[in-house]
Amino acid sequence: MYKETEKDGYVLIENEGGRTLGIAKESRVNIICRDGLAFKDFLGTGQLAPYEDWRLSPRERAEDLAGRLSIEDIAGLMLYSSHQNLPAGSGQGTYGGRPYSEAGARPWDLTDQQREFVVRDGVRHVLLTGLESVETAVRWNNSIQALAENTGFGIPANNSSDPRHSIASGVEWKAWSKEGVSDWASGLAMTACFDPQVVKDFGRAASREYRALGIATALSPQIDLGTEPRWLRFGDTFGENGELTALMAQAYCDGFQTTQGSPDGWGDESVNTMVKHFPGGGPCEGGRDAHYAYGKYAVYPGDNFKEHLKPFLEGAFRLKDGTKCASAVMPYYTVSVGQDKKYGENVGNSFSRYIITDLLRQEAGFDGVVCTDWAITHPEGGMRQSRGKCWGMETATDAERNLKALEAGVDQFGGNQDAEPLLEAFRMGCAKYGEEAMDRRMRRSAVRLLLNMFRTGLFENPYLDLEESLGVVGKEEYMRQGYDSQLRSVVLLKNKGHVLPLSPRREDGSPRKVYVPRRHIRETRSFDGDIVPERYLTPEGKAEAGKYYSLVDTPEEADAAICFVESPICCPYSEEDRRAGGSGYLPVTLQYRPYVAEYAPKESLAGGDPQEDFTNRGYYGKWNTAANEEDLDLVLHARRKMKDKPVIVVLEMKNPVVMGEMEPYADAVVAEFCVSKRAVLEVICGSFQPTGLLPLQMPKDMRTVEEQKEDVPFDMECYVDSEGHRWDFGFGMNYSGVIRDERTKRWGKDET
């Protein structure tokens, strides 16, 4: 027996002892009753097709539906939308042909482009970025699901998100989003806790919030090993320890994918995880990132390729809970130079048959979805632009790139919602391999993609109840857990003379006066390669410090100075150098003062690009400087003016830092990995005893950075501070001194 309940825009149908269905109020889909149970009649035949029967296994249903689809339908499944903001901003979409500001539309209304890619192109995988509110997310989700339900075979939308639960998500996600999900430590900050259970707790909380927003796939975790300290995305990794990263990956995927009480772990609380980036994007040459043409090569001077597979093979593909394996994998953009010993190709990982079919599918036994990173089939732009990233296939056409990825074993194309190049690739494949072979190839991918929808219950009920979602997103328990993870991640590196904790009040009970200097950052480049003008800014931590201390304008007035700085910011490529006859390549510096690369290799390990008439991408003898060089100056200025009064440095770390220029002038150094400044201030003032440990090595100097090998972990000489402490992996202090506990016994390095 079943019961129907009318909801806001949809009808909820509860089967006694079975699955709950959701169906749009004005749906063309009818309900079939069999054995007193309700099923959706997507096909409109009045007969129960296997894919409509929720009593069957997800694989049986996926195989049945994949066999019914046309190649055009499958092509739509294999596409992934571009980033979608709700509502769409300027240039991102229109409503009835007009921009949102002029259309009078509601923030949750579907854009013209969204309607088109769902109905015309059959796109069902949608990447969500900005969400104006929980209500916007819920109502938009219900609208797009109703449209999908009434289109074709009724395949629901599988909405996804990149990480959005950390302070570090601000630039790409939280700058646009106001949905209010809980804030957690992430990446390096999670590792600084040295506790995989924190990661699992995060996965459980975040998955509930995701599902309450209509998100069923997480484009995470990022489990690349951070063996190259200069890498732009180092801060998003779990560090360079392969064993620990594997445990973190395992905990993350188990937390996200597991529905409690389900026999196989899957259910309507599950969120598919897409682990990235196979086979590991960390060993990028010279620290240059593969989002840009100047950073397309991963190199292995230490012959350590297999170590980078450990987080996948021993973590994400070996889960403890019922789902057993991460449901999807995203290869990185990089060309893994010299690793394809079978076919001898040096192409981007998603184009590599050796990487995808031989290594991932056959050797690792992975049979889930392989989704390319975004825009790999698009033409490359300039050397500094994050546009098309078709590394190794730069001179091919879009269709040829699609076919190459299909031949490699890819199932899905990230950031591509245009079906025609993929359909052209299919036709080219038919001419090359025969139509029957290409048909089988496409349907294999369709089964994998549909399986992730059936497992998470999207075919039964993709609809959301606004009141229920409001009770889940930003839930007090999740907010408390998230904030606790931030507190636990803060690392005390130096505490000369026990200046910390710094009480908010003096001994006489009067407020303690604190000076927080402003920062200046020179012109630099955004993630997309656009120029960011120089800027003067008041540190975010100043307002937070004002809640604990009495702020003053000059160091002379202050009892203590708190200097908020961040790891050095620089770009490793210069168009000006290129126009002047140079190669354009510059060193990535981890120090603040100008750096000359006198210890760098004279020849690059990899090179070659249609935009260049040379292959040596080295930068020996060239110099670069940090755009935030003046972070060092503000500490030096504070030291001079404060004289014997305490100078406290708060270092926001996205990468390891050469601290020899700055550390001697600080009485205390607090490291944080892009968490809230409130958490940092609680450590400084004594409300929370620091427990975090360094999740990385801090290099002695740039020579050890240049001489380390991109693919090898723990191969730098570490910095020793003025107190005689070595800032190595696993080092940290509390107010009493150096932390020595079970974590440091297992993971730490001997700091003597």
pLDDT given at position 77: 97
Q: Are 14 and 3 in contact (CB under 8 A)?
A: yes
pLDDT given at position 384: 77
Residue range 57-84: average pLDDT?
A: 97
Q: Are 187 and 488 in contact (CB under 8 A)?
A: no
pLDDT given at position 529: 77
Q: Are 187 and 235 in contact (CB under 8 A)?
A: yes
- Identity of the amino acid at 684: I
- Asked whether residue 482 carries a pLDDT value surpassing 90, the answer given is yes
Cα distances from 453 to residues 110, 155, 324, 329, 518, in angstroms, run 22, 9, 17, 16, 50
- Asked whether residue 7 carries a pLDDT value surpassing 90, the answer given is yes
Considering only CA atoms, which of 122, 128, 126, 113 is closest in space to residue 77?
Answer: 122
pLDDT given at position 166: 84
Kind and range of the H or E element at 6? strand 2-6
Residue range 254-270: average pLDDT?
A: 97
Residue range 122-138: average pLDDT?
A: 96
Residue range 227-232: average pLDDT?
A: 97
Q: Are 2 and 37 in contact (CB under 8 A)?
A: yes
pLDDT given at position 168: 62
Task: Return the SS3 of 101.
Answer: helix
**Alpha-carbon distance 665 to 318, whole Å?**
47
Kind and range of the H or E element at 733? strand 733-734
Q: How many CB atoms sit inside 10 A of residue 618's CB?
A: 20
Residue spans of alpha helices (H) in 112-167: 112-119, 134-149
Q: Which residues contact 579 (CB under 8 A, 6 or more apart)?
A: none
The structure tokens listed for 50 are 């296997």
- Asked whether residue 397 carries a pLDDT value surpassing 90, the answer given is yes
pLDDT given at position 528: 76
DSSP state of 63: H
Task: Return the SS3 of 53.
Answer: coil
- Asked whether residue 492 carries a pLDDT value surpassing 80, the answer given is yes
Q: Are 161 and 127 in contact (CB under 8 A)?
A: yes
pLDDT given at position 750: 60
Q: How many CB atoms sit inside 10 A of residue 746's CB?
A: 11
pLDDT given at position 90: 81
Percent of the chain with pLDDT over 70: 98
Give me the torsion for CA of 522, 526, 531, 536, rounded to 10°.
Answer: -30
**Alpha-carbon distance 491 to 95, whole Å?**
48
For 329-365, what is each residue's pLDDT tens digit?
Answer: 999 999 999 999 999 999 999 999 999 999 999 999 9
- Asked whether residue 615 carries a pLDDT value surpassing 70, the answer given is yes
- Catalytic one of 236, 254, 373, 711: 373
Sign of CA dihedral 462, 464, 468, 469: positive
pLDDT category, 91, cuts 50, 70, 90? confident
pLDDT given at position 173: 41
327-341, 385-399, 474-488, 648-662, range with the lowest pLDDT: 385-399
The structure tokens listed for 487 are 């507190």
**Alpha-carbon distance 645 to 549, whole Å?**
16
pLDDT given at position 178: 73
Percent of the chain with pLDDT over 90: 93
- At which residue do the structure tokens 């549909």 appear? 450
The structure tokens listed for 212 are 């309450």
The structure tokens listed for 473 are 């997103």
pLDDT category, 267, cuts 50, 70, 90? very high
In the sheet that 125-131 helps form, which strands lie side by side, from edge to edge?
83-86, 125-131, 158-161, 215-218, 272-278, 328-331, 369-370
pLDDT given at position 174: 43
pLDDT given at position 530: 82
**Alpha-carbon distance 180 to 164, whole Å?**
10
For 101-113, what is each residue's pLDDT tens digit?
Answer: 999 999 999 999 9
For 371-383, what is each residue's pLDDT tens digit?
Answer: 999 999 999 888 8
- Asked whether residue 184 carries a pLDDT value surpassing 70, the answer given is yes
Strands of 534-684 (E only): list them: 535-537, 550-552, 560-566, 595-596, 623-624, 647-652, 668-672
Report the chain's mean pLDDT, rounded to a whole number. Answer: 95
**Alpha-carbon distance 229 to 699, whole Å?**
9
Q: How many CB atoms sit inside 10 A of residue 549's CB?
A: 25
**Alpha-carbon distance 410 to 429, whole Å?**
14
Q: Is residue 524 classed exposed, middle or buried when 0-12, 13-18 and 19+ CB atoms within 10 A define those classes?
A: middle
Cis, peptide link before residue 501, omega less than 30° from 0:
yes
Structural domains of the chain in order of their starting residue, each with its CATH number: 1-56 (no CATH), 76-476 (3.20.20.300)
pLDDT given at position 417: 86
Give me the torsion for CA of 22, 25, 27, 29, rounded to 10°.
Answer: 50
**Alpha-carbon distance 702 to 377, whole Å?**
37
Residue range 490-505: average pLDDT?
A: 98
For 543-587, what is each residue's pLDDT tens digit?
Answer: 999 999 999 999 999 999 999 999 999 999 999 999 999 999 999
- Identity of the amino acid at 393: M
pLDDT given at position 526: 83
Q: Are 284 and 233 in contact (CB under 8 A)?
A: no
For 518-529, what is each residue's pLDDT tens digit?
Answer: 999 999 988 877
pLDDT given at position 169: 44
Backbone angles phi and psi of 252, in degrees to 5 = -60, -50
Active site residue 373: yes
pLDDT given at position 382: 82
Which residues does residue 514 pair with via DSSP β-bridges, in sequence order? 551, 560
